[in-house]
Structure 1
Amino acid sequence: MTDVHAGRKPETLLITLTGKDRPGVTSSVFGTLSGAGVEVLDIEQIVLRGRLILGVLVTAPHQVRRVTEAVEETASALGMSVDIERGVGDNKARRGGRSHVTILGSPLRAAAMGAVAGRIADLGANIDRIERMARYPVTAIDLHVSGVETAALRTALAAEAVRQGVDIAVQPATLLRRGSRLIVMDVDSTLIQGEVIEMLAAHAGCEAEVAAVTESAMRGEIDFEESLRSRVALLEGVPASALDEVYDAILLAPGARTMVRTLRRLGYHFAIVSGGFSQITDRLAADLEIDYARANELEIVDGRLTGRIVGPVVDRAGKAAALREFAAAAGVAGAAVIAIGDGANDLDMLNAAGLGIAYNAKPLVRDAADTAVNVPYLDAILYLLGISREEIEAADAEAGFVTPSPPV
């Protein structure tokens, strides 16, 4: 029986191999160790541009010198360098205050990574592990951090993100990051590119006027319901057929289908909540297989828009209420809901969610949200959930979807 079973801290060997990656490295090392009667306490391995780093922590055998020489011979035969360090005790458990810090950059510069690492060190925290989530069309890096509360880390890194021109998402390292969730999305300028009401206004010859009011409302400068009713009034007389033309002209945000498709495979529910119009959002929901939808209904009489809305307006408070309603229907706790939006009327919805993401949002919204994503790819949100680009592409390939090749 070894020391570890006897309840005493065992002597250990930390074996670190570095060199060109090739098949059989790990099996060769453990083949060498197998006759020594050691127990494996920890293993870490990474491959970076064809270079392998393998770390193995084992209990020290009685014949330490013999095992050390055998491992060195194995490393030499593999053409690799090896470092063997003798010590006492297993790896320490990671400290409390565990968080995931996801950094998105296009490009991601060394100065930005250095600044982020510096702020983490300033807080007395430690980076326990680093993983690459994607290398194109943005670079996404996930840091496992311990030793500081998530809220304090988020505050410090939010300021650094602005200085460095990168996106940084900070989330507590809990099971919710992997659990089935509900994603609630805004539509205009989030799920889709542009604003539907402005596209409709083009048919009424008042696009510029409507766009100015929309922009002011999204910045939170004027009441949303008041602004919506005034804009819709300008659409009076537009033929209902314009809705079909607008729908056909809609462009989804890059990566929208990929995000929905990937998360549906993992059992996620989806909802869209919009200050726009149900005549558009209901069709979007059907097209993307989204479970729930809530939006305003334009009144149509004799084939033309009347310039009025049927029923209550889906405003800032209405969006948050819809989120709670959909979460209850899906059987998902509020803490397991992710909300994504860009305008001031999304703020209550973002605050009602366990994770509120400001997507290419106005400054007011970015400052209030849990995190912000400013790259023009909606599927970048997958990296915040611990899903890598390689996993996405592998699942797509298995299902027969063709994804673009990365740059060489």
Structure 2
Amino acid sequence: MAEAPDTLLITLTGRDRPGVTSSTLATLALAGVDVVDLEQIVLRGRLVLGLLVTAPADAASADALRTAIEETAHALEMSVEIEPGTGDTPRRSRERAHVTVLGMPLKAAAMAAVTRRIASAGANIDQIVRMARYPVTAFDLHVSGASQEVLRTELAVEAAAQGIDIAVQPENIQRRGQKLIVMDVDSTLIDGEVIEMIAAHAGCEDEVARVTEAAMRGELDFEESLRARVALLKGVPASALDQVYESIQLNPGARTMVRTLRRLGYRFAIVSGGFSQITDRLAEDLGIHYARANELEIVDGVLTGNVVGKVVDRAAKAEALREYATELGLPQSATIAIGDGANDLDMLAAAGLGVAYNAKPAVRAAAHTAVNVPYLDTIMYLLGITREEIEAADAEAGIVTPAPVL
């Protein structure tokens, strides 16, 4: 004679409507069973409700419960399945991770490839949550059973093959805590390079752009290349800096990211190999707490072609991150760094999460994760914040989000 199950798994599916969960639980209450686990999801108006409950002590009570649940489901016009449960089984491993997948678009073939990689790594997908449906599609996969190192290695290969972005992060309480976000400025917070915009006023934009590109690829010493480029700016009137500032375009989603995460207590810093005459104004405009950059020397209203003081180079960026974290009383593991160039590498490595944003290939290869879509606020999906939550917070503050074009 088969041993009676300790638990029963009850699964209802059908059109979502008010009262499905409450009616089902009311039926279970009359049977006197305990709810061990409960999950439900609504997808495009279709509801899947799963309940794991303690099984009645005798066969007659079990039959009565089955009949009552089937009658409730019929009244709700829902389908129902009842089968022996497996108890409150713990997750398969203490190794748990969040795998965030971003695509623009995110095709079914790409998701199939990602899930195959996860399975081949010996991991299990416990839950999938949609983070955004526009302007990028993003999903957060809760994964257990494989180390983060293995998942990162496997999924980095697939991300490159599929042309999508994948981030692997530990599932722990720190993901919900206060953080410090340290950002590069040129080609990260803003579109373009400030030094090239200034160089346009000196008639040497192309020459400066060539040197900048080589420096960002890591082919030149940053300080030497900066001093050489700044020397070409000699004689540019200081008033040109105002014109440059007015022409700056923030990367899409920059304001949204800063204002949303400030509401949650995050702190922001911009650390730039650019110039304080620009970055200080950006910080004030956006509400960024810390700013550090190089200072252009100005004498008698014109640029001298020199910088004042120590150059903010690759090492200085990482040092700034550590300094700000210490001042805030945060561990380095609670920091996020975002950058695109070779001079950001030490900063990305020092952070708890280093994000290569539309970065050079060497930077993408070295960072914890890469984001290659042109929206800076997609960083928030890596932090477990959904597009719906962002828009709801904006609406509460009176900020209207344009309707998506789908």
Q: 1:6-48: per-residue Cα shift (whole Å, max 9, x none)?
A: xxx9711101011111111111111111111111111111111
Which among 35, 51, 69 is matched to residue 40 of structure 1?
35
8 Å Cα contact 2:180-2:325 kept in structure 1: yes
CA distance in 2, matches of 1:135, 1:170: 20
Partner of 2:53: 58
Which runs of structure 2 are paired with 1:1-400 in the superposition (5 Å)?
11-62=6-57, 63-400=61-398
8 Å Cα contact 1:10-1:90 kept in structure 2: no
Aligned-residue identity in percent = 74
Q: 1:40-68: per-residue Cα shift (whole Å, max 9, x none)?
A: 11111111111111101110123111111
Count of matched residue positions in the alignment of Structure 1 and Structure 2: 400
User: Which letter maps to 1:124?
Assistant: G
Partner of 2:405: 407
Q: 1:181-234: per-residue Cα shift (whole Å, max 9, x none)?
A: 000000000000000000000000010110010000000011111110010000
CA distance in 2, matches of 1:91, 1:41: 10
> Which has the larger displacement, 78-87 or 51-60?
78-87
User: Which letter maps to 2:137?
Assistant: T
- The Cα of 1:392 is off from its aligned counterpart by 0.4
User: Which letter maps to 1:89?
Assistant: G
Partner of 1:3: none
- The Cα of 1:331 is off from its aligned counterpart by 1.4
> Which has the larger displacement, 59-68 or 137-146?
59-68
User: Which letter maps to 2:181?
Assistant: I
8 Å Cα contact 2:338-2:356 kept in structure 1: yes
> Which has the larger displacement, 326-335 or 163-172?
326-335
CA distance in 1, matches of 2:49, 2:85: 18
Normalising by the residue count of structure 1, what TM-score does the alignment of the two structures yield? 0.97
Normalising by the residue count of structure 2, what TM-score does the alignment of the two structures yield? 0.97
- The Cα of 1:88 is off from its aligned counterpart by 4.7
Partner of 1:6: none
- SS for the counterpart of 2:370 is strand
8 Å Cα contact 1:234-1:307 kept in structure 2: yes
CA distance in 1, matches of 2:321, 2:85: 53
CA distance in 2, matches of 1:162, 1:272: 29
8 Å Cα contact 2:11-2:80 kept in structure 1: yes
8 Å Cα contact 2:279-2:293 kept in structure 1: yes
CA distance in 2, matches of 1:295, 1:98: 38
8 Å Cα contact 1:21-1:51 kept in structure 2: yes
CA distance in 1, matches of 2:374, 2:87: 47
Unmatched segments (≥5 aa) in structure 1 = 1-8
CA distance in 1, matches of 2:156, 2:188: 21
CA distance in 2, matches of 1:157, 1:387: 22
- SS for the counterpart of 2:93 is coil
- The Cα of 1:89 is off from its aligned counterpart by 2.3
- The Cα of 1:94 is off from its aligned counterpart by 4.2
CA distance in 1, matches of 2:157, 2:292: 35
CA distance in 1, matches of 2:314, 2:84: 61
8 Å Cα contact 2:127-2:142 kept in structure 1: yes
CA distance in 2, matches of 1:313, 1:45: 55
- The Cα of 1:290 is off from its aligned counterpart by 0.6
- The Cα of 1:91 is off from its aligned counterpart by 2.8
- The Cα of 1:407 is off from its aligned counterpart by 2.9
- The Cα of 1:406 is off from its aligned counterpart by 2.1
Q: Which runs of 4+ in 1 moved over 4 A?
A: none
8 Å Cα contact 1:167-1:374 kept in structure 2: yes
- The Cα of 1:96 is off from its aligned counterpart by 1.8
CA distance in 2, matches of 1:11, 1:258: 49
8 Å Cα contact 1:150-1:172 kept in structure 2: yes
- The Cα of 1:154 is off from its aligned counterpart by 0.6
CA distance in 2, matches of 1:68, 1:92: 26
- SS for the counterpart of 1:35 is helix
User: Which letter maps to 2:102?
Assistant: L
